[in-house]
Amino acid sequence: MNRIASTMIITLCMLFSFPFAAATAAESRDKMASMKGGGPIEIVSDRLDAYNQEKLVVFSGNVVATQKDKVIKADRIFVYYKKNDKATAKQTRTTENTDDLDRIEAKGNVRVTQGEKIVTGENAVFFNNEQKIIMTGNPVMREGSNVIKGERIVVLLDEDRGVVESSKEKRVTATIYPDEGKRNNK
């Protein structure tokens, strides 16, 4: 794999703290240890394709990304990088900067879990600059027995909050069990 593809893969790993089992270097492990969220991470898929000219890396076939108690499953994950001019591209190759990541898209049977929290849908997009995730395609949020559904779920990572949006055809619905929290605290 050439240097650009290697840099793109290392950048992806640094952003999500998902180092590849096949990542080469102690340098990558050192960078991962210092990243927010910490802990070893593993991405497993049936296939990885890197498209250097398109600035795209695709994981396909039963993709599972795991870090501690966080798991993301999808049929495919697409990692898009910003297209740089020649001067910027040369600098990016030498600095392995995570700022060149544009967005990450998970497609097909997307499931994000952390403990009892589960968010499912057909598509999820992570926007790096905005630190925002948008889940579409019949998105559903669950925690224990509580369920919230809508047309679109937006998670604002920097603000530690989420928004469930409706459309003319599909209103937001929530089924909440208030006593469930009390039982879990005992």
Compare 129 and 46 and report the one with higher pLDDT: 46
Kindly give the pairing relationship between strand 117-127 and strand 140-143.
Answer: antiparallel
The pLDDT value recorded for residue 40 is: 58
Residue 173 reports pLDDT greater than 50: yes
> How many whole angstroms separate alpha carbon 152 and alpha carbon 19?
30
> Does the structure show a pLDDT above 70 at 163?
yes
Q: Please tell me the predicted confidence (pLDDT) of residue 99.
A: 54
**Of 162 and 151, the one with more pLDDT:** 151
pLDDT at 35 over 50: no
Name the band, by pLDDT with cuts 50, 70 and 90, for residue 14: very low
pLDDT given for residue 29 in this prediction: 36
What pLDDT is attached to residue 183? 59
Percent of the chain with pLDDT over 90: 37
Q: How far apart are CA 103 and CA 82, in angstroms?
A: 9
- Coil vs helix vs strand at 177: coil
DSSP code of residue 158 = G
Asked whether the whole model's pTM tops 0.75, one would answer: no
Residue 7 reports pLDDT greater than 70: no
Q: How does the average pLDDT of the chain come out, rounded?
A: 74
Alpha-helical runs (H) found in the chain: 3-16, 26-34, 86-95, 178-185
Q: How do residues 99-126 score in pLDDT, each as one tens digit?
A: 577 888 999 999 988 888 899 999 999 8
In whole angstroms, give the CA distance from residue 73 to residue 42: 12
pLDDT of residue 129: 82
pLDDT at 66 over 60: yes
- Give the CA count within 13 Å in the CB-facing half-sphere of 17: 15
Distance between CA atoms of residues 147 and 152, nearest Å: 14
